[in-house]
Amino acid sequence: MNAPFPSTPAVSDGDPRLPLKLLIAAPRGFCAGVDRAIEIVERALQKYGAPVYVRHEIVHNRYVVDSLKAKGAIFVEELDEVPDDAPVVFSAHGVPKTVPAEAERRKMLYVDATCPLVSKVHRQAERQIEKGQHILFIGHVGHPEVIGTMGQVPEGRITLVETVEDVAKLEFSPDDALSYLSQTTLSVDDTRDIIRALEERFPQIVAPKAEDICYATSNRQAAVKQIAASCDLVLVIGAPNSSNSLRLVEVADRMGTNARLIQRADEIDPSWLEGVGTVGLTAGASAPEKLVREVVDRLSDWRLVDEEVITTAEENMIFKLPRQLTE
């Protein structure tokens, strides 16, 4: 195993716990889009009073959702569960065009918390359709962001591609006007392979002006790559339905390091630490820093922890709030 980082510390005198080196990835946790979405719900509660309805989980994290529920947010799956006179927030993942259209038809008060980087993909999809192109959209079936993006364009003008194998099954010709876009929370490596397959099969395909995978997704995957080779185990804090968190687990696994997805510290099994000298720790873009510290505290109950933060990038992105909440 490679060991570019300091070795495991010696046990302190009088402390019976075994030493454990803890490499904490940075960046980790909340991204600017998640920060913005949570603040939108909190500000809507302050401005309009409880309850404020939220269509779908505002972000994929149970702790965050439960915290907002305690403040008066009510989470629903569809608009027909929301009274006409109640404010409603659309989640950070984005929604199909039919959703705000329905809200406007019902004269509902709604606030769109779609991440600006997801909105950018929506606008790109519209422009590609205006140019007469058929969109090949790289993403995971059923994910809210995929549903939202595919719902930006007329039916039949966009095709979902999940894997390199899917590319071989596409029934288009070299004469067809094609373009591609991707979900913002995908594996950087997998997406690169799919794009390469698309470009080899369809040399005429048009790429987006800028990469669709968001900076936070790329940065968190790069940080895990940096620490995984030096770890015996990597813990990823995130939800099972969080695409970016699942990708972090995959990144570590592909480097040959055992990785586990956990939502809270109480899910850690002490047996995972048997024979382990170095643990890597990161958090998906929807997981708050409080849960990182909770995991560190739990590990410290069992082992003598020596923390080191490994920083691979600095993030200072801030997204503006909707004007209706700042006026």
Q: Walk along the chain (327 residues) and give the pLDDT tens digit of each residue.
A: 444 544 444 444 456 689 999 999 999 999 999 999 999 999 999 999 999 999 999 999 999 999 999 999 999 999 999 999 999 999 999 999 999 999 999 999 999 999 999 999 999 999 999 999 999 999 999 999 999 999 999 999 999 999 999 999 999 998 999 999 999 999 999 999 999 999 999 999 999 988 888 999 999 999 999 999 999 999 999 999 999 999 999 999 999 999 999 999 999 999 999 999 999 999 999 999 999 999 999 999 999 999 999 999 999 999 999 999 998
Per domain, the residue ranges of the chain are 18-30+215-311, 32-112, 122-212
Phi first, then psi: what are they for 71, rounded to 5°? -90, -5
Are 102 and 78 in contact, with CB atoms under 8 Å apart? no
Note if 145 is an active site residue.
Answer: yes
Identical fold for domains 18-30+215-311 and 32-112, yes or no, is no
- The separation between CA 96 and the C-alpha centre of its own chain, rounded to angstroms, equals 19
Q: Catalytic: which of 104, 126, 145, 211?
A: 145
The DSSP output letter for 12 is P
CATH code assigned to 32-112 = 3.40.50.11270
DSSP state of 6: P
Q: What is the 3 state secondary structure string of 66-110?
A: HHHHHHCEEEECCHHHCCCCCCEEECCCCCCCHHHHHHHHCCCCE
What is the token pair recorded at 85? 């006179």
Tokens 């149970």 found at: 62
CATH of domain 18-30+215-311: 3.40.1010.20
Q: In sequence order, which residues have a C-beta less than 8 Å from that of residue 192 and are 6 or more positions away?
A: none
156: left (phi over 0), alpha (psi -120 to 50) or beta: left
Q: Which CATH class is domain 122-212?
A: alpha beta
